[in-house]
Amino acid sequence: MAKRYEITSSQNETFGIFTDLLTSRGISKYRQAFIFGEKAVVETVKNFYDRCLGLVMTPEMEESSKETSHGASLYVLSRDLFKILDVFGTGKPVLLVKVPEFENWSVEIKSQGCTLLVPFQEPGNVGATLRSAAAFGIKNILMTEGVAHPFHPKSSRAASGALFSFRYFKTSRLEQAVFKNQTTVALDLNGTSLDGFNFPSDFILVPGLEGRGLPENFKPSYRVTIPINHAAVESLNGPVAVAIALYRRSVQKPQA
């Protein structure tokens, strides 16, 4: 039988943790996060039940949520407290999940296929990038220090259920990251055209940082650019560039 916890005070210790989970720091500290949206909640419970810790709801939602919970704990909050957590105003139960541990990246780890490095600080950009990564079969995600957490509410909402599709690694900031003999392919305005580029079999795809592009001291194995046919547009935002590059890789002929 599911455990039931009733929370009516903002001073409640568990509610304090819940509010911390609305930030990247809180998610990293407790290794827990929220999934928002009825469809995303149902799909996560169905496909990743072992990652689910409980459903957060109001008393009015409790009866209809018992079937969805599949035995997970129920956290029943007053309406006012629930509104604080329901940052997107879904009016639906919010799912509490366990966040997978991020492994330390090492130069000894050999990239198999495409490993995607994510350097973005904007949570929505992280989520959109992960959604594209899942769509094109990427399995390994490399998060640099200081980026938005992929399970941040804005990121998880943009990722649309893709968060548990990956093995996550962490490394230092791109300016300090060491890749040694690992092959890196960077998306750069000064690179060769993506149209004629053949991706290596195993490599790390590195998009530029928001607004700043690639650090000057970062020396990738290859630099590629996405041709733009309109003079008024100088560059694409990071998630769009990543999606195009991953699509291009998915349709190229396998290397001999």
For 103-251, CATH number?
3.40.1280.10
List of the chain residues with pLDDT < 50: 256
Q: Which two tokens stand for residue 55?
A: 């459903």
Residue ranges matching CATH 3.30.1330.30 in the chain = 4-98
Residue ranges matching CATH 3.40.1280.10 in the chain = 103-251
Helices (H), 34-173: 38-47, 59-69, 79-85, 123-135, 153-159
- pLDDT of res. 209: 77
- pLDDT of res. 164: 92
Q: What is the distance between the alpha carbons of residues 247 and 68, in angstroms, rounded to a whole number?
A: 35
Closest CA to 179 of 149, 222, 213: 222
- pLDDT of res. 256: 47
For 4-98, CATH number?
3.30.1330.30
Asked if 42 contacts 70 with a C-beta cutoff of 8 angstroms, the reply is no
Q: What is the distance between the alpha carbons of residues 175 and 75, in angstroms, rounded to a whole number?
A: 43
Spell out the residues 6+ positions from residue 207 whose beta carbon is closer than 8 angstroms to its own.
117, 118, 119, 120, 129, 186, 187, 238, 241, 242
- pLDDT of res. 253: 64
